[in-house]
Structures are given as C-alpha cells and as structure tokens.
Amino acid sequence: MFQVIIRSIVPIVILLGLGLFSRHKKIMKPGDEKVFGAYLYYFALPALLFINITETEFTGQTLKFIFSGMLPALIVLAVYITVFFTAKLKKDNLYLLMLTTFFGNFVFFGVPFIMFVFPGGEGERLAILSSAFISVLSVFISVTALELSKVSGQGIIGTLKIVSKQLMANPLVFSIIAGLAFSLVGLRLPRVFSTALHMLGGTTATVAFFMLGAFIYGRKYTGFFSAFKLALPRIVLLPAIAFFVTRFLGLGKIESAVIILMNAMPLAIAVSVMSDRYDFHKETVATLILVSSIGSIIYLPIWIYILGIQ
C-alpha cells in the first residue's frame, strides 16, 4: 500500500516542484505556462482520449462503469438544487458551489495520477473512460452556472443552448465523440497512427504536473479558510458518495477505486480561466485551486489507504 502511495505521490511532488522552481528562477516567465496548457488542451489530451476510447469495447459493464462515475455529481447537484429551493440559498452561492464542486482536474491531474496508482493498460483505460464522461458532465454544469450568474436575461433554455455550443467547440469533447464513433462503428486506426497518438498522449502526465507547478506560483491568494470549506465536497463528499455508489452497483475493486479517486481530484486549472472570463469570484477560485492541488498530496494517499489499494 505504501509503495502505491510513494509511486503515485512522489512523481507529482517532483514535477510540481520543478514547475515552481522554473518560475522562481525565472526560467519561465508569467504566462509561459499557457503554452503548456495549449499543448495539453489541443494536442496531448485529445490524442490520449481519442485513441483510448477508440480501442475500448463498450459493453454493459463499461456503461455501468461510466454511469457510476457520473452519478455522484448528479446526486450532489440534486442536493444543491433542493437546498436552494428549500433553504433559500443565495443564487451566487449556488453558482459558486456548482463551479467549485464539479469541475475537477479529471484529465490533467486525474488521468496521470490513476496511471501512477495502477500502472499498465487497464489503469490508463479506466482513467480515460471515467475522466472523459465525468468531465463532459462537470463542464456542462459549471459553464451553465457561470452563464446563469451573468445578468443577461437569456433564461435557462437560452443558457443551455450557449453551453451546448461551447461544449461542441471543445477539442476534448470532440475527441471523445470521435473516439466513440470509431469504437461503435468498429473502425481501427493503422498502427503507425495509433502509435503516434499513444506517444503524444503519453506526454500528458509530465507536462500537466509541471504546468500546474508553474501555474500556482506567484499568484495572489486570499481567504484560505473559505477555500478549504469549498474544497471539502471534492475532498470528502463526492468520493464518499462514489464509494457507496460503486458498492451498490457491484463494481470490481480496481473499477471502484478509479471512480472514487477520480471524484476526489482537485479543482481544475481551467476554472481559474473561466472565473477570470466571467469576473466571478476570481481570487477565491485561485486560492481554492492552490488549496485543493497542494492538499491532494495529503488527502489522496488517505483515500488510497481507505481503499486498501496494493
């Protein structure tokens, strides 16, 4: 068990540290991390998602696994909406919770982390499957919350149309849809192309954690206690619900562990970009990304221990 913790956490600490070091020594300038972000967003991650989904055979068990990963977010969202209508939760607080609870760093952080925990093809395949569909759901919820936070008079239908258009223009979503199409039709890429895509996708872990270290350096952080409270749903609530969901649906040990850990991932870096764009709790979100990302070095090993991963 402790070997699993070491092999999953130590590489993250090293890569985060190198990213921080590069900024501290001014090897990288403020904003340089955006180049790495663009590389991941437009090339490495789409390649990783597409090729793995293409090579996946979708069965009843596969669909149950995908549904298990998405169900915790749907349950928590239902709770939030119920509290909003029954306890008079302020709209601003509801939208903030929707943004900070569901948009986890599933692909940039979750996929490489799961690959460290479960080395080999099975771990990578399950990480890709879970992160792909949880990400689509979480992005939909989060962008909807941000659009509703604007005083635009679009209404819920108009907002959903805007969000749907944004999702279809997302290269990660496009790669998921393309991978599904290839898999369902039974198309297989020639080996030369699949090898190239696997190589491109294989750079994800190193670049993602290095970029995260560079991203969190030198930013303005305030309200650490408030950020910690906002991080609790991702640290405790979502993975705890995932724990019971996977037990109830009878998933295997590795499948259950992947779903639970994926639901415990820290807040996505993209949330900071989105909060800046919508001028929505920018400093709170920046601090929350720091707290959840650094805190994951502590709380993810606790979940590994609870799950008894060997």
For residue 67, name the pLDDT band (cuts at 50, 70, 90). very high
Average confidence (pLDDT) over 85-96: 89
Domain that holds residue 27: 2-307
Find the range with the poorest average confidence among 126-140, 154-168, 220-234, 259-273.
Answer: 154-168
Across residues 105-114, what is the average pLDDT? 89
User: How many C-beta atoms lie closer than 10 Å to residue 45's C-beta?
Assistant: 27
**What pLDDT is stored for residue 37 in this prediction?**
84
Check residues 256 and 282 and name the one with the higher pLDDT: 256
Return the pLDDT at 75: 97
Instruction: Provide the sign of the torsion angle of the four alpha carbons 38, 176, 100, 301, taken in this order.
Output: negative
How confident is the model at residue 79, as a pLDDT?
A: 95
In this predicted structure, the answer to whether residue 152 has a pLDDT above a threshold of 80 is: no
- The answer to whether the pTM exceeds 0.75 is yes
Instruction: Give me the sign of the Cα torsion angle 168, 173, 179, 183.
Output: negative
Q: Say whether pLDDT at 269 is over 60.
A: yes
Query: Could you report the per-residue pLDDT of 245-267, keeping only the tens digit for each?
Result: 999 999 999 999 999 999 999 99
Give per-residue pLDDT as tens, 32-45: 888 888 898 889 88
Does 150 have pLDDT greater than 80? Answer: no
More confident residue, 151 or 38: 38
Q: What is the pLDDT of residues 290-303, one digit of tens each?
A: 999 999 999 999 99
CATH of the domain at 53: 1.20.1530
Whether 160 has a pLDDT exceeding 80, the answer reads no
User: Binning pLDDT at 50, 70 and 90, where does residue 154 land?
Assistant: low
Name the domain count of the chain. Answer: 1
Average pLDDT over residues 158-169: 79
